[in-house]
Structure 1
């Protein structure tokens, strides 16, 4: 008669148990103090990038040389400085860890907002976390390219991709929809700044200076992002892919308007303000 003693029966692991263990492991990694410190460095690197973008925009306003007023231009500027390559390699690691943290939030939900689990609000938060994670992975790839000396202009890449997509009617429609989504993202940044909802992302007592930096920075970045979306739609409607050159194109279009110098300086200062606020996020953001 076969032995049916439950104590001697081989243990089996259900798929849900394996999934729970994987989530638990991911959660432990995301909450690891060393991981957290390096991930927070991503905010510092993001701040540096935004400072350089704002500086380039102001330099363009006064006719002070070339350079792209976008992420790739900022990294090219950094690479040309003494110690810039080392900073870019640090940025690669920081951006990757920041991206992994956001992906962990997308999978597990925000550790700082546990009460929202299971609600539609939490679903939206997870989608946003995943989207931000993708952005940081893109930052990491861009930083890697410039650290290795093979960086490329994101504006040129955007225009090339737009040209390929516009070869089909469905692609043009997709571009218009994408442009509207980008405008919506920009609008959300403006709302987040104007309503001061960004304060929900912070922990501890924050100064009035941090609150002002966040409000101005989010509004300025939101307007810049919305302008990028408008250029994407314009490029699709007019069948001119060279207009869809991202943030650099948005800044240069702004500079070509009446009072363009003033507008470009204000926009550059706004992006610099967001960069300064990024430094504050490295200290105060909930993780």
Structure 2
């Protein structure tokens, strides 16, 4: 009997250790997401001050990391964290119970984030292997526009992006992201976590709205080059009369989001 009890106890200990390890990897993935946004902020500033040849999106950020052997190793670490977050978010999307609107929104948000982190995983692995993230959303849009009904599909994708971006913006403005966090007790640390999350999510949401609008425009005008994701959106901002100011403000928002991710990695309930 004692041997059986010992075996059960050992199994429970092993399960707890495995769960602890999985949570650590998920937190690494959230932190990696923040690092990606800090790199994006740097690329945005480069575009703001005249470097229009730089690719200001996640692919550009990963390509910047992949310039050295150590950087490619880091990309594999980031990919591991991203896939852990993707799987965790899938579990959340499938496991949240209840039929209330709040539960439905929670499921939808988790499913959306699972897709985002799955895409980041693929992009990080592809860049680590080849040094390039691939042809990106422009090639995908061109392929879709070339099939029957392709304009409607691309247009629907653009509208979907705008809707998700609106949700991100409202989530940031209302600070509802704190519902899934055990915020720090220290009032100053709590204030920094909330304010960086608010500023970062609003900035991220507004830029994503522009991405969605450009995808819709690409569908309406049959111009796939407009559907080139974040890079095209930021360079569209750069071409405006106050482009430098808009891009610097965007970079500040992305830095805020990157800092928030450090808090989220520590205090998100995983």
Q: Same fold (TM over 0.5)?
A: yes
Partners of 2:43 and 2:150 lie apart in 1 by 32
Tell me which residue corresponds to 1:94.
Answer: 81
Tell me which residue corresponds to 1:147.
Answer: 128
Aligned-pair CA distance for 1:170: 1.8
- 2:162 paired with 1:162: no
User: Kindly tell me: are residues 65 and 227 of structure 1, through their superposed partners in 2, closer, same or farther at Cα, counting changes over 3 Å?
Assistant: closer
- 2:100 paired with 1:119: yes
- 2:263 paired with 1:280: yes
- 2:89 paired with 1:106: no
- 2:58 paired with 1:78: no
Name the SS for the 2:170 alignment partner: helix
Residue pairs, 1:1-287, within 5 angstroms: 32-64=19-51, 66-81=53-68, 83-109=70-96, 117-153=98-134, 156-168=135-147, 170-205=149-184, 207-287=190-270
Partners of 1:273 and 1:81 lie apart in 2 by 27
Which whole-Å deviations, capped at 9, do the CAs of 1:5-62 have from their partners, x for residues lacking one?
A: xxxxxxxxxxxxxxxxxxxxxxx79x81110011110111111110111110111111
Which whole-Å deviations, capped at 9, do the CAs of 1:68-95 have from their partners, x for residues lacking one?
A: 1111000001112562112111011111
Uncovered stretches (5+) of structure 1, i.e. residues with no partner: 1-27, 110-115
Aligned-pair CA distance for 1:228: 0.4
Aligned-pair CA distance for 1:194: 1.0
Partners of 2:246 and 2:108 lie apart in 1 by 33
Report the structure number with the largest CA radius of gyration: 1
Which whole-Å deviations, capped at 9, do the CAs of 1:203-251 have from their partners, x for residues lacking one?
A: 1335211111011000000001111000001111111100100000000
Name the SS for the 1:83 alignment partner: helix
**After alignment, is 64-73 or 95-104 more displaced?**
64-73
Contact 2:46–2:54 at 8 Å: present in 1 too? no
Uncovered stretches (5+) of structure 2, i.e. residues with no partner: 1-14
Structure with the higher helix share, 1 or 2: 2
Contact 2:183–2:190 at 8 Å: present in 1 too? no
Aligned-pair CA distance for 1:117: 2.7
Aligned-pair CA distance for 1:261: 1.1
Which whole-Å deviations, capped at 9, do the CAs of 1:178-219 have from their partners, x for residues lacking one?
A: 111111111111111111111112113352111110110000
Name the SS for the 2:130 alignment partner: coil
Provide TM-score, normalisation by structure 1: 0.83
Aligned-pair CA distance for 1:127: 2.8
Partners of 1:224 and 1:277 lie apart in 2 by 17
How many positions carry a matched residue from both structures? 252
